[in-house]
Structure formats: C-alpha cells, structure tokens
Structure 1
Amino acid sequence: MITGVGPGRRRALVLGAAALLSACAPAPTRPSGKEDDGHAEVRTDPEPLERRFTELGPLSDPHWLGLVLGVAGSRAPGPTDVRVVGFARLAAGKAKSLVRAQDLGPFRPERPDQVPEELLPYLPKGARWVRSESFDRRMTQGTYTGAFYVDEGSGRVYFDTTDPSVADDPKT
C-alpha cells in the first residue's frame, strides 16, 4: 500500500505504473508479408503493378511479392518500407521496343540478384536479362528506388523496387 499519499494521487500512481508495465510488454507481431510457414505469398494480380509501373503497359502472368521491410516487432512509429519484387509478361513486342528505344538505353546485360526464393520457380529458363539505369530512372521518377530487367526472348520484365508509388491519375 502506498502511504502518505491521498486516494486521488494513489489512483494516478497505480494507473501510471500499469501504463509503464504495459509499455514493456512484447510488441504485437507486425505484418511481414510472410505466411505462417515463413514463406511469402506469391501474388498474381496485375492491377497493383499496372498502377505503379504504367510505363510497362498492360501486364499478364505476374508473379510477385509485397514484402514489409524492417525489424519485426518494432514499435517505432513512422512509415513502413515495402519491397515489391517479381516478374510479369509484357504486351507482345513491348520488351523489344523498350530495349531498342534510343532514349531509354543503353541496355546492358545484367542478371537480377537477390531474387526471393518464392519467385525462383517463375524465373524464365535461359533468360538474357538486360538493364538500363536510364530506364530505371524513368520508371521511378526519383520518387522510389528500383531496378527493372527486361528479357526480350520471353517478353518478361523483372522488377525489384522499394516503396513504388502509384502513378497520378490523369483524370484528377
């Protein structure tokens, strides 16, 4: 029992101690983009990608992940970074037109690194990836980080981005 303190102050001290103890409790689990078995869920919906990567045009056969980055269980306030990474098929002829566009080059041979394990089954066999830093800058518009690799043979693009923003709606 707390002595020498009135009932009002005693109640305030008890509530303060309870608040302090609850602040020390383990943080709730933060979403991580992982399923219960520790693997991320591969998504196949093209719409979120098409809203972010408008320059690529319509996409088909996507396989991608949205992974929350950071320390699990962190209680720090602030924005959360999301890695959007995966593959998609470009419209017929789009890969070739991108690679051959004078204002986007030069595209040079470069293989994607750090492809998440969950996406390896979707990696095109025999792909000859090329990448252009100029094209990366055009895609990201300096608002997020990202790398875009194109394989003309399969007509696919591999993207590895952090916090890709949704393109502005030209109707608004």
Structure 2
Amino acid sequence: MGGMAGLGRRTMLALGALAVLAACTSTARSPDSGKVRTDLESLERRFGALGPLSGAHWLGTALGTDSRMSVPGPTDVRVVGTAKLRAGAVAAITGAPQGSFRPEAPSQVPGDLAEFMPKGARWVRSDSFDREVTGGTYSGTFYLDPGTDTVYFDTTNPSPAASSGP
C-alpha cells in the first residue's frame, strides 16, 4: 500500500512540474505580444510599393518558437498590422485594370490590432498586387480599403525590396 501512495505522489509531482514548465514556456515565447509598434521606417523599406505610410499599428512576432521540436536556426517572423496610405492611393492602386481586386476581409487579425482596424472597411485584395509588393521574395497578403486609404498587411519574413529601376 505504501508503494502506491509513493507512486501517486511522484506522479502528482511530475504533473505539477509539467504545469510549471508549460506556464513558463507560454510566457517566454511571446515577449513582444501586446507591444504594438508605430514606427514607419522598417515598413516603408519593406513595402515600398505602397508609397509613404502614416498612422501604422503593427506587430512583429516570431513564429514556431513554441514548438519543442524546433531546430536552432533562423526564426520566421510574422509582420502584421495596418497603415494609412496617401489620400487617394488605394483608389489608384485598386483602379488599375491589371489588379483584379476582389472583396475579401482579413482573417486571423491579432487581438492587439483589432482596435486599429477601420470600422466598416470594405476590404479588397489581389494576388497580383501581393506579388508586386513582395517581389516574390516572401509571403504576404495585403488588404486595401479605398474608403479610408488603409492597408492591412499580414506577411512572413518581409525583406526590403531590392531597388528596381534607375
């Protein structure tokens, strides 16, 4: 009988240790959560096709860092947020005939950014415009709202575009 009680106590200790480990890793993996950034320079460098930006609210978060199986090496970074374009810029972009923009609303908007999304936005997006902005060097989706000249971007590892043209 004494052996059973010992096993139970050891099992409980192991479960307690696992709970503590889980709590530690969940806080350790998201030091940036809740830190909404408003700086523009790094966005303008990466999303040059959008032109000058203002009023940005965005997050840069590491992806896949909560997996115990992750291999040391470069970490994928999700850069997601909103910014304002020059007045009339969205209408000019979405009015281009080769754009083939269609209505589509962003999904998986991080909770920290929800308050910065324009109310009543009529989002549109286009695969060809996504490729134009990313230059085909990283994955990204760009939603545009002509009514507020706002862009919502959701990208992985956005890199500054190589200068194109003279």
Between 1:161-170 and 1:127-136, the stretch displaced more is 161-170
- Percent pairwise identity: 56
Q: Give the Cα separation in 2 of the matches to 1:73 and 1:128.
A: 36
TM-superposed deviation, 1:40: 2.7
What residue is the counterpart of 2:66 in the other structure?
72
Q: Deviations over 1:76-102 (max 9, x none)?
A: 221110000000000111011000012
What residue is the counterpart of 2:53 in the other structure?
59
What residue is the counterpart of 2:150 in the other structure?
156
Q: Structure 2 vs 1, CA of residues 71 and 52 (structure 1 numbering), >3 Å: closer, same or farther?
A: same
What residue is the counterpart of 1:145 in the other structure?
139
1:1-172 aligned within 5 A: 32-35=29-32, 39-72=33-66, 76-103=71-98, 105-169=99-163
TM-superposed deviation, 1:45: 0.4
Q: Give the Cα separation in 1 of the matches to 2:161 and 2:76.
A: 18
Whether contact under 8 Å (2:87, 2:149) holds in the other structure is yes
Whether contact under 8 Å (2:79, 2:156) holds in the other structure is yes
Q: Deviations over 1:128-172 (max 9, x none)?
A: 0000011011111221111000000011000000000112257xx
Q: Give the Cα separation in 2 of the matches to 1:161 and 1:33.
A: 18
Q: Residue 46 of structure 2 aligns to which amino acid in structure 1?
A: R
Q: CA RMSD in A?
A: 2.2
TM-score of the superposed pair, with normalisation by structure 2: 0.77
Whether contact under 8 Å (2:65, 2:75) holds in the other structure is no
Q: Give the Cα separation in 2 of the matches to 1:165 and 1:125.
A: 30
Q: Unaligned 5+ residue runs, structure 2?
A: 1-20
Query: Greater helix share, 1 or 2?
Result: 2
Q: Give the Cα separation in 2 of the matches to 1:32 and 1:149.
A: 28
TM-score of the superposed pair, with normalisation by structure 1: 0.74
Q: Structure 2 vs 1, CA of residues 100 and 34 (structure 1 numbering), >3 Å: closer, same or farther?
A: same
Q: Unaligned 5+ residue runs, structure 1?
A: 1-25
Between 1:71-80 and 1:159-168, the stretch displaced more is 71-80
